[in-house]
Amino acid sequence: MDELRVKKMIHRANYRGFKEADLILGGFAKTYAAELSNSEFQQFEDLLFEKDHDIYDWISGVQKLPKKFDTPLFKKLRAYKPDLIK
């Protein structure tokens, strides 16, 4: 994976304006971005175009997950537990 593209995605995932989404999406991106397949990377980039509160609600199960995001990557994201103690 292109290093610059990975860095941009991590930055975009970390600075969303909704702290809970920053922690989950940013932490996930830092942990997994470099090892995602091209397809998974694109899926994650596509997810980042969605609203933070929607993403958070999909992860927490408050809203039904749209079919286009019902992927193994999203299951991995849903299972991700951010390290809150730094």
Percent of the chain's residues with pLDDT above 70: 97
What pLDDT, on the 0 to 100 scale, is given for residue 27?
Answer: 95
What pLDDT, on the 0 to 100 scale, is given for residue 17?
Answer: 86
What's the 3-state SS for the chain? CCHHHHHHHHHHHHCCCCHHHHHHHHHHHHHHHHHCCHHHHHHHHHHCCCCHHHHHHHHHCCCCCCHHHCCHHHHHHHHCCCCCCC
Q: Tell me phi and psi for residue 42, to 5 degrees.
A: -65, -40
pTM recorded for the entire structure: 0.90
Q: Is the pLDDT of residue 83 over 90?
A: no
What pLDDT, on the 0 to 100 scale, is given for residue 80?
Answer: 95
* Average pLDDT of the chain, as a whole number: 93
27-79 pLDDT, tens digit per residue, is: 999 999 999 999 999 999 999 999 999 999 999 999 999 999 999 999 999 99
**Domains located in the chain, CATH noted:** 3-78 (1.10.150.250)
